[in-house]
Amino acid sequence: MVSPRNIRLALALLVISATIGIMAAIFQKGSKPAPPEPVSHQLPLNVDLALQKAHFTEVRDGVIMWTIIAERAEYNKKGDVVHLSDIHMKFFKSRTVGSIMVTADTGTYSTKSKNVNLRGKVHVTSESGIVFDTPTLDYLASPSHFKTADTVTFRQKRMTLTAQGMDLYVDKQDVHFFKAVDATVAGLQRK
């Protein structure tokens, strides 16, 4: 016959074993890392690499000429073009001219030629206070110059100018406007 004392001992061992088993199961489930969140969108088929906060820099003779920071950059290894969005491009001050800051909604950057095509709300400001606005602007790296055939609005102090087309030479900060030029100087009184 089984004594009551042995029954109590067996029940105590059973309760302790169950408690240890439950604690081990909780510990095992709690120590596993959470699964990674799924990516909200897939890359398009023609994109091999997508970067957030991408930086591009052009260096000539050991001197940084310009840098681009884009919120997003998409690159296809088969081509030489990087598609950029939310672009901030800065041309650094030299001995002869001040810095230039350019922003645009989107654009492309050629890794071979170093040319940059800017599109959508292109805004250019110089250190001297000159401001340009245009829907498109292309930077040609070899001659270090911007050009557009679109409408450009130019502002400096009291003068506002609108023209169709423009060339801006970065090294000299020299600007040439093409056709349909309309300029207004604020504060002039006619007699």
Cα(19)–Cα(25) distance, integer angstroms: 10
Long-range CB contacts for residues 119-126, cutoff 8 Å, separation at least 24? 122/148, 124/100, 124/168, 125/100, 125/101, 126/98, 126/99, 126/100, 126/101, 126/173
Of the pLDDT bands very low, low, confident and very high (cuts 50, 70, 90), residue 43 is: very low
Read off the tokens for 102.
């350019």
Helix (H) / strand (E) containing 10: helix 4-31
**∠130-131-135 over CA atoms, to 5°?**
150
Mean pLDDT is lowest, of 13-17, 38-42, 101-105, for 38-42
Q: With a threshold of 0.75, does the pTM exceed it?
A: no
pLDDT averaged over every residue in the chain:
82
Cα(41)–Cα(50) distance, integer angstroms: 12
Amino acid at 104: A
Is there a contact between 143 and 158 (Cβ–Cβ < 8 Å)? no
Read off the tokens for 167.
């060339």
List, in order of start, the domains of the chain with CATH numbers. 49-185 (2.60.450.10)
Q: What is the pLDDT of residues 90-124, one digit of tens each?
A: 988 877 778 889 999 999 988 888 899 999 999 99
Q: What is the pLDDT of residues 127-186, one digit of tens each?
A: 888 899 999 999 998 888 999 999 999 988 888 889 999 998 888 878 888 887 888 888
